[in-house]
């Protein structure tokens, strides 16, 4: 059974964005592994507390990601 685990900074993506990601990641996996595995393909998204995620030794928050993405609206 395919299992995809995604971790991201909490508060950045909305529930709707996470659901879209789940659909698209599932479709990508099945494009390689075969449509017959759809019923047993798992995708989980785990939120990591903002500031508890770091890149290059510096903490990253949801606001940092919004700035990088060029978005001013909160999730």
**CATH node for 3-69:** 3.30.429.10
Q: Contact at 8 Å (CB) between 46 and 5?
A: yes
pLDDT at 30: 98
pLDDT at 72: 58
Sequence length of the chain is 75
Of the candidates 68, 59, 62, the one whose C-alpha atom is nearest the C-alpha of residue 14 is 62
**pLDDT profile of the chain (75 residues), mean per 10:** 96 96 98 97 97 93 92 57
Q: Contact at 8 Å (CB) between 53 and 59?
A: yes
Q: What's the rounded Cα separation, in Å, for the pair 56 and 70?
A: 21
Q: Contact at 8 Å (CB) between 47 and 8?
A: yes
């Amino acid at each position: 059974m395919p299992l995809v685990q995604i971790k991201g900074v909490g508060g950045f993506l909305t529930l709707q964005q996470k659901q879209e990601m789940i659909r698209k990641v599932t479709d990508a996996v099945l494009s390689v592994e075969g449509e017959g595995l759809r019923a047993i393909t798992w995708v989980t998204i785990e939120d990591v507390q903002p500031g508890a995620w770091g890149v290059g030794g510096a903490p990253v928050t949801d606001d940092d990601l919004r700035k990088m993405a060029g978005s001013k609206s909160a999730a």
